[in-house]
Amino acid sequence: MSGLALRADRVSLGHGSRLVVRDLSFEVRPGEVFAVLGASGCGKSTLLRSIAGLLRVQDGTLFADDKPIFAPSPDRALMFQDDALLPWRSVRRNVELPLAIRALSRTDRRARAEQWLDRVGLADQADRLPAQLSGGMRQRVQLARTLAGEPRAVLMDEPFGALDAQTRGAMQRLLADVLSSTAATVVFVTHDVDEALFVADRVAVLTPAGIRTLVEVPEPRDPATRGTPLVREARDELLAALFERNAA
Ligand SMILES: Nc1ncnc2c1ncn2[C@@H]1O[C@H](COP(=O)(O)OP(=O)(O)OP(=O)(O)O)[C@@H](O)[C@H]1O
Ligand SMILES: [Mg+2]
């Protein structure tokens, strides 16, 4: 299945009468990993929820493959920072959740869930409950669950924000590896400039006036390029945009 092309055309986002972002336009190419950075409260989660179809835009239009987004769709899966696993279901049955709406036999659902658990290194944890796992393991279950439904776009809201630095690094490498075998388009929200530069093809800084800075990552998802001059240059540009914003 191919990745969705996502597009915002002069979109305003907000809650009730309160506008958070005005006049936002951008395009995410099919299969691209597009990272969004921005100060706390600038509207990153609001943007993801809008792309997910959980929140109406106030003005303009969001498109998925040139079709306006009006409602949630299994094509666009949202993965949260906090733990959204069902505590009473085993790890395997959590991963099976997005498969329930597909016309798959029980055996196929189970096989697909186990395949994804294997992919994230948790094949031996399938029968345990979420509470019996560490935070990093639970995020891996969430990643498996999100991808098991074969969404055409994955919307990740600071998915590794609650993890310690070491686990976070491992999750970034796992994600990079897993993404190499899916065609899904990814919108990845993070606070962490280095995480964005490792995971994404392009990195944008979101401000109340739309996207301010957009950089192309020289060698996405290649651990060898961390700290190379081109990546450092991109990093400086992003940090400058973030600080300028905070100072304003
Ligand atoms: N359900 C809501 N109702 C009303 N206002 C909201 C709601 N959710 C968020 N907001 C407001 O919208 C603005 C943007 O919030 P949002 O959660 O999108 O920011 P964010 O960029 O994701 O921040 P963070 O980096 O802290 O997660 C904030 O001012 C917030 O208070
Ligand atoms: Mg947020």
Instruction: Give the pLDDT confidence score for residue 245 in this predicted structure.
Output: 58
Quickly state the pLDDT bin for 224 (edges 50, 70, 90).
confident
Question: Contact at 8 Å (CB) between 98 and 148?
Answer: yes
Quickly state the pLDDT bin for 248 (edges 50, 70, 90).
low
| Mutation to probe ligand 1, out of 11, 24, 42 (largest number of atoms < 8 A from CB) | 42
Computed on alpha carbons and rounded to an integer, the radius of gyration of the chain in Å comes to 18
With a cut of 70, say whether residue 126 has pLDDT above it.
yes
Quickly state the pLDDT bin for 49 (edges 50, 70, 90).
very high
Taking the centre of ligand 1 as the mean of its atom positions, its distance from the CA of residue 46, in whole angstroms, is 6
Each residue of 66-83: pLDDT tens digit? 999 999 999 999 997 777
Q: Where are the domains of the chain?
A: 30-75+151-248, 84-150
Instruction: Give the pLDDT confidence score for residue 91 in this predicted structure.
Output: 96
Nearest to 177 by CA among 124, 122, 135, 120: 120
Ion ligand 2 residues within 5 Å by Cβ: 44-45
In this structure, the residues whose C-beta lies within 6 A of any atom of ligand 1 are: 15, 20, 38, 40-46
Over range 24-51, report the average pLDDT.
95
Nearest to 204 by CA among 229, 158, 238, 176: 238
Instruction: List, in sequence order, the alpha helices (H) in the chain.
Output: 44-52, 91-96, 106-119, 135-148, 165-179, 193-199, 229-247
Task: Give the lowest-confidence range in 146-155, 165-174, 198-207.
Answer: 165-174
> Which homologous superfamily does the CATH classification assign to the domain defined by 30-75+151-248?
P-loop containing nucleotide triphosphate hydrolases (3.40.50.300)
| Mutation to probe ligand 1, out of 46, 190, 211 (largest number of atoms < 8 A from CB) | 46
With a cut of 60, say whether residue 101 has pLDDT above it.
yes
Taking the centre of ligand 2 as the mean of its atom positions, its distance from the CA of residue 29, in whole angstroms, is 23
Ligand minimally distant from the alpha carbon of residue 36:
1
Residue bearing the CA closest to ligand 1, atom 16: 43
**Residue 142 to residues 116, 121, 171, 201: CA-CA distances in angstroms?**
10, 13, 12, 23
